[in-house]
Chains A and B, each alone.
Chain A
Amino acid sequence: MSSAAIHAEATDITANARKRYTAGVLKYRQMGYWQPDYVPSETDTICLFRITPQEGVDPVEAAAAVAGESSTATWTVVWTDRLTACDSYRAKAYKVEPVPGTPGQYFAWVAYDIILFEEGSIANMTASLIGNVFSFKPLKAARLEDIRIPVAYVKTFKGPPTGLIAERERLDKYGRPLLGATTKPKLGLSGRNYGRVIYEGLKGGLDFMKDDENINSQPFMHWRDRFLYVMDGVNKASAATGEVKGSYLNVTGATMEDIYERAEFAKELGSVVIMLDLVIGWSAIQSMANWARKHDMVVHMHRAGHGTYTRQKNHGVSFRVMAKWLRLAGVDHLHAGTAVGKLEGDPLTVQGYYNCCRDSYTRQDLPRGLFFDQDWADTRKVMPVASGGIHAGQMHQLVDLFGDDVILQFGGGTIGHPAGIQAGAVANRVALECIVKARNEGKDIKRDGPAILQKAAQTCTPLQQALETWKDVSFNYASTDTSDYATTPSVA
């Protein structure tokens, strides 16, 4: 059937209430979920899905089915629709296009009326948008690529409890990326041994140390023990340097009661920051955002688990959508990729995630995977975190890619330094400061970065050792999640 004929048939049925509500099974496009003339309103949420219909399923019908299954539809006609202003509740697929260069996949644009979502609830929004629809049989695969959230809905969220501007003011650190490190080994350290690593890293020059995502309260280290020793390290390092220091205390636990108990203890001990793992879920994250707002606490979000649904291009949810939801839900730090390290992410795509965290107004930018303009309506900004397999020798690339508002986390790249943890921290801090200084002086850090680092290393043995130790380390693999609109170079 031609697209004109499909449209005519769909319009004929949806315009005629008797035909539309006759008991039986209709095609989704005939039930009002396909409206090619629809113009989304300012208050609509717009989703862009990448869909892979089963063999023989028409892409328009598949798009209509996505709209239907993510809003009101059931598989058959129900007369009870007529008790509602049902046109409001139906999501409307209004555009379908083949994905460039990828046969069998289509982009489908779907609009949702603002009445569909409970105010200030990511749980409610996600239950619709990534709920049943992702298991729908006529689709082989589906992926939520991007979302435009209307200002009217954005304003129902309080957003980051602290935001990157207020965080910098609290920490008294400006004009450069912040530096962190994840405590290693991830598992097995006692509280006392763990606190040693914290103290050495912070005294050496880092701003933050970090618990790992799977450090909660295992047999080798009870959470209270960890918090007490960590805070001793933090305070000692603060006295030794005269700087505000912090360590992300991971308060993730089995129940909300556990999480609240751990967070309260972190507050009591004077920590400036707590940490949560993404796996605790949307409602828990929003509850803890409320708690953090009440207690002036920075919330560090580790995106543990996201790779199970963000990484494969044909199915799941893009991380840019996760970043948008997490900014609204209320986190202050968000792991958003390194582009040059050991974890997935090509540079432009990762920059797109950073934009979602930090922009006042995000512009459409297809090479960076951003399909929509997004007005953040003064929502506070999230500090992105680059963590995983990065080292001092990449400092110029990291500063060039991400600018100042980012936390650079060198775990192995600090603790694995041949002369010890303090030396590792010194190497990273000197590398960072010399690159920022050179950039501000107008030097081309992307091109001359290695020479700038070598020059600084002449008067800094720890940096010299770091550059030597990790000179050949790179993780130069092709990314799986890349833009469909540009060839993206790897920088590793």
Chain B
Amino acid sequence: MMTNPTGRLTQGQFSFLPDLTDAEINLQIEYGLRRGYAWSIEYTDDPHPRNTFWEMYGMPMFDLRDAAGVMLELRNCRKTFPHHYIRLVAFDSTRGIESITMSFIVNRPPSEPGFGLQRQEGPGRTLRYTLTPYATARPEGERY
């Protein structure tokens, strides 16, 4: 159990709120589609804050303009990876942005043990910090 006030991983736009229902997720997808974003689904069992590249569940859905289609993919992903972290990611390809514009977690493992922090003493009272997810001691796919 993580010790921050939410007791869980707080990455993404809405981690401090109660889990979004599918109807609420649908509204966020529609908002992104109205703004011309492309949705994609990513999953991982390594939630290290600098693990940038979660696995892609298929390609970004550049041509999919229907929220129901995104929800269908999400349900498939949840079925395949019920104990992984899954996030919905919106991409804006406008010149000068060309980056992610929304990202929020829509599936979590049943328990979130969090991260250990190792300190290595260096000269002049400096410390070198290493942050290790407790779950990644086990191999990929067997972590949660």
Establish whether residues A242 and B10, one from each chain, have CB atoms under 8 Å apart when the complex forms: yes
Q: Does A296 contact B (CB under 8 A)?
A: no
CB contacts under 8 Å to B, within A379-438, are 381, 404, 422-423, 425-426, 429-430, 433-434, 436-437
Establish whether residues B28 and A235, one from each chain, have CB atoms under 8 Å apart when the complex forms: no
For A232, the chain B residues whose CB sits under 8 A away are: 127
Establish whether residues A236 and B10, one from each chain, have CB atoms under 8 Å apart when the complex forms: no
Establish whether residues A242 and B27, one from each chain, have CB atoms under 8 Å apart when the complex forms: no
User: Once bound together, how far apart are the Cα atoms of A243 and B9, in whole Å?
Assistant: 8
Q: Does A172 contact B (CB under 8 A)?
A: yes
User: Once bound together, how far apart are the Cα atoms of A354 and B95, in whole Å?
Assistant: 19
Interface mask (A198-218 → B, CB under 8 Å = 1, otherwise 0)? 000001110000000000000
With A235-B131, A239-B117, A240-B2 as contacts: A269 and B49 at CB distance below 8 Å:
no
Interface mask (B109-144 → A, CB under 8 Å = 1, otherwise 0)? 000001111000000111111010100000000000
Establish whether residues A174 and B14, one from each chain, have CB atoms under 8 Å apart when the complex forms: no
- In this complex, what residue of A is CB-closest to B27? A441
Q: Does B58 contact A (CB under 8 A)?
A: no
For A459, the chain B residues whose CB sits under 8 A away are: 18
With beta carbons under 8 angstroms apart, the residue of A165, A203, A242, A437 that contacts B11 is: A242
With A243-B10, A360-B96, A433-B16 as contacts: A228 and B114 at CB distance below 8 Å:
no
Establish whether residues A205 and B31, one from each chain, have CB atoms under 8 Å apart when the complex forms: no
For A238, the chain B residues whose CB sits under 8 A away are: 49, 115, 131
For A228, the chain B residues whose CB sits under 8 A away are: 125-127
Establish whether residues B117 and A441, one from each chain, have CB atoms under 8 Å apart when the complex forms: no
Q: Does B52 contact A (CB under 8 A)?
A: yes
Establish whether residues A436 and B13, one from each chain, have CB atoms under 8 Å apart when the complex forms: yes
Q: Does B104 contact A (CB under 8 A)?
A: yes
CB of A356 to closest CB in B, whole Å? 15
CB contacts under 8 Å to A, within B16-63, are 16-18, 20, 24, 27-28, 31, 47-50, 52
Establish whether residues B114 and A441, one from each chain, have CB atoms under 8 Å apart when the complex forms: no
Q: Does A169 contact B (CB under 8 A)?
A: yes
For A436, the chain B residues whose CB sits under 8 A away are: 13-14
Establish whether residues A169 and B99, one from each chain, have CB atoms under 8 Å apart when the complex forms: yes
CB of A249 to closest CB in B, whole Å? 14
With beta carbons under 8 angstroms apart, the residue of A172, A175, A231, A430 that contacts B17 is: A430
User: Once bound together, how far apart are the Cα atoms of A166 and B92, in whole Å?
Assistant: 14
With beta carbons under 8 angstroms apart, the residue of B9, B52, B90 that contacts A242 is: B9
For B48, the chain A residues whose CB sits under 8 A away are: 242
Establish whether residues A239 and B5, one from each chain, have CB atoms under 8 Å apart when the complex forms: no
Establish whether residues B5 and A426, one from each chain, have CB atoms under 8 Å apart when the complex forms: yes
CB of B1 to closest CB in A, whole Å? 11
With A242-B9, A242-B49 as contacts: A175 and B101 at CB distance below 8 Å:
yes
Q: Does A268 contact B (CB under 8 A)?
A: yes
For B13, the chain A residues whose CB sits under 8 A away are: 174-176, 433, 436-437
Q: Does B100 contact A (CB under 8 A)?
A: yes
Q: Does A74 contact B (CB under 8 A)?
A: no
With beta carbons under 8 angstroms apart, the residue of B2, B31, B99, B116 that contacts A442 is: B31
Q: Does B77 contact A (CB under 8 A)?
A: no
Q: Does A244 contact B (CB under 8 A)?
A: yes
User: Once bound together, how far apart are the Cα atoms of A269 and B119, in whole Å?
Assistant: 12
Q: Does A378 contact B (CB under 8 A)?
A: yes
CB of B9 to closest CB in A, whole Å? 4
- In this complex, what residue of B is CB-closest to A432? B16
For A422, the chain B residues whose CB sits under 8 A away are: 5
Establish whether residues A240 and B103, one from each chain, have CB atoms under 8 Å apart when the complex forms: no
- In this complex, what residue of B is CB-closest to A431? B16
Give the interface centre of B18, B49, B114, B131 by most chain A CB atoms within 10 Å. B49
Establish whether residues A204 and B5, one from each chain, have CB atoms under 8 Å apart when the complex forms: yes
Establish whether residues A442 and B27, one from each chain, have CB atoms under 8 Å apart when the complex forms: yes
Q: Does B71 contact A (CB under 8 A)?
A: no
Interface mask (A228-256 → B, CB under 8 Å = 1, otherwise 0)? 10011001101111111000000000000
User: Once bound together, how far apart are the Cα atoms of A172 and B51, in whole Å?
Assistant: 10
Establish whether residues A270 and B10, one from each chain, have CB atoms under 8 Å apart when the complex forms: no
Establish whether residues A241 and B27, one from each chain, have CB atoms under 8 Å apart when the complex forms: no
Establish whether residues B14 and A437, one from each chain, have CB atoms under 8 Å apart when the complex forms: yes
With beta carbons under 8 angstroms apart, the residue of B17, B99, B100, B128 that contacts A437 is: B17
Q: Does B97 contact A (CB under 8 A)?
A: yes
CB of A73 to closest CB in B, whole Å? 40
Establish whether residues B47 and A235, one from each chain, have CB atoms under 8 Å apart when the complex forms: no
Q: Does B67 contact A (CB under 8 A)?
A: no
Interface mask (A461-473 → B, CB under 8 Å = 1, otherwise 0)? 0100000000000
What are 15 residue pairs bridging A and B, where the CB atoms are less than 8 Å apart in the complex?
A172-B11, A172-B103, A205-B5, A241-B9, A241-B10, A243-B11, A244-B50, A268-B126, A430-B16, A433-B14, A437-B20, A441-B24, A441-B31, A442-B27, A462-B5
Minimum-distance CB pairs A-B, first 5: A175-B102, A440-B31, A239-B117, A235-B129, A242-B9
Residues of chain A whose beta carbon lies under 8 Å from any beta carbon of chain B? 165, 168-169, 172, 174-176, 203-205, 224, 228, 231-232, 235-236, 238-244, 268-270, 360, 378, 381, 404, 422-423, 425-426, 429-430, 433-434, 436-437, 440-442, 456, 459, 462
